[in-house]
Amino acid sequence: MAVLNIVKDGDEILRKKCRPVVQFNERTKRLLDDMKDTLHKANGVGLAAPQVGVLRRVCIIECEPGELIELINPEIIEQSGEQEEVEGCLSVPGRWGITHRPMKVKVRAFDRDGNSFEVEGEGLLARAICHETDHLDGVIFYDKAVRMLSKDEIEESDDE
């Protein structure tokens, strides 16, 4: 497979709404495989297709090593609770902000073979699902941040 270039903040593709996947074919599977390689190389938690220059409703999440979740045409169907946590993004290196996200979410999506499924997430997984599905609608985490962290605050948290 291949490691793809991650699109950085300022590129207009990150602000575009993605189109649904309608054909579950080898091209879709190759995209998912390449996104996985890219995510692992970048040491990230999640990656959405527009972050690698593809305007399709595809994202992947791996909160725990070896537990990759592939979401095609994801739709959040339930959410509850709330959490306020520090969030960052592979497309916005070096910037972090505090966001409000649901504590729990349920998402309906399709797998690489076109089968519908649902997955529930709590804590970090819920936050990652929201973050990546936002990317599919052209929303970047700092659009929802209640406060961006200063460089000093980031360095302080690294020292702890």
Domain ranges of the chain: 12-159
The pLDDT score that the predictor gives to residue 143 is 97
Per-residue pLDDT of 84-136, as tens digits, reads 999 999 999 999 999 999 999 999 999 999 999 999 999 999 999 999 999 99
Assess whether 132 carries a catalytic annotation: yes
CATH 3.40.718.10 fits 12-159, yes or no: no
* Confidence band, pLDDT 50/70/90 cuts, at residue 11: very high
The pLDDT score that the predictor gives to residue 135 is 98
For residue 75, what are the contacts with CB-CB under 8 A and spacing of at least 6? 107, 108, 109, 133
Per-residue pLDDT of 18-75, as tens digits, reads 999 999 999 999 999 999 999 999 999 999 999 999 999 999 999 999 999 999 999 9
42 vs 6: CA distance, rounded Å: 9
Which of 62, 70, 87, 132 is labelled catalytic?
Answer: 132
- Whole-model pTM? 0.94
